[in-house]
Amino acid sequence: MSQYLSQLSGLSTMVITLACGAHLFFFFVLWVWSRRDLRGIASSLDDFTRGLKHRSLLDSTGHLSDQIVAFLADVNETLDPQANPADRKALSERVHILDEKRRYLDSHFFETCYNICRTMIEAYPLAGVLGTILAMGAALQANAGTETTNAISSIVSHFGDAIWSTFAGLAAAILLMFVNSVLEMSFLGLVENRQHVRDTVVRAKRELVLAGGGETPA
């Protein structure tokens, strides 16, 4: 039993390190995912507003979130009852683009993955403490029934594994919390942009389709 505990305590630091590396890679995947979705949303709105006389232009060097806000402002301005009828007609002719590219508005899976990735950061300090307990347990199990002096010496010899396990857990948590703090605003901005786009798309489809339906019978 003590042999297994000793092996587990020795592997705990390595397991925490590998898990932290995988966690960092997962954050990178989420970042790439968010950038792709932002580009997709901006591209969809760029196509949708292409027929407007005065509209924002998609700039590859600009911040995507700011460009999405500008495109949404163009759409909301065109949907105003006092807007140029030609612009409203141009939007109504391109409303099908919103249905063809609505896959970029799906956010539940992304939000679920990000919430899991963020929540699991809390597990690293606990994993470090678990490694410490395993190291201490291995030392006590190996020296059961021996003299107190020998038991203390054995515990001290296992103290290195215990300390490294705790250090690895805390260091991984601090590193991942820092990475999350850097990326969190970008991820939350994507979620907010999606919500604004959904609201604007619903309004655009409702008003443009109703306007089109009102013109057809005449």
Alpha carbon distances (Å) from 38 to 42, 65, 169, 183, 193: 6, 7, 34, 14, 8
Euclidean distance between CA atoms 7 and 153, whole angstroms: 19
Mean pLDDT for all residues in the chain: 76
Distance between first and last Cα of the chain: 87
CB 41, CB 68: distance < 8 Å: yes
Domain boundaries, the chain: 2-57+66-215
Reported as a single tens digit per residue, the pLDDT across 77-101 is 777 766 677 777 777 766 666 666 6
Reported as a single tens digit per residue, the pLDDT across 142-183 is 655 555 556 566 666 667 767 888 889 999 999 999 999 999
Euclidean distance between CA atoms 169 and 4, whole angstroms: 21
Reported as a single tens digit per residue, the pLDDT across 22-59 is 999 999 999 998 888 888 877 777 777 776 666 667 66
- Buried-exposed string 96-129: b where 16+ CB fall within 10 A, e elsewhere: ebbeebeebbebeebeeebeebbeebebbbebbb
- Mean pLDDT calculated for residue range 61-67: 72
Predicted confidence at residue 214, as pLDDT, reads 43
Euclidean distance between CA atoms 48 and 46, whole angstroms: 5
CB atoms within 10 A of CB 193: 22
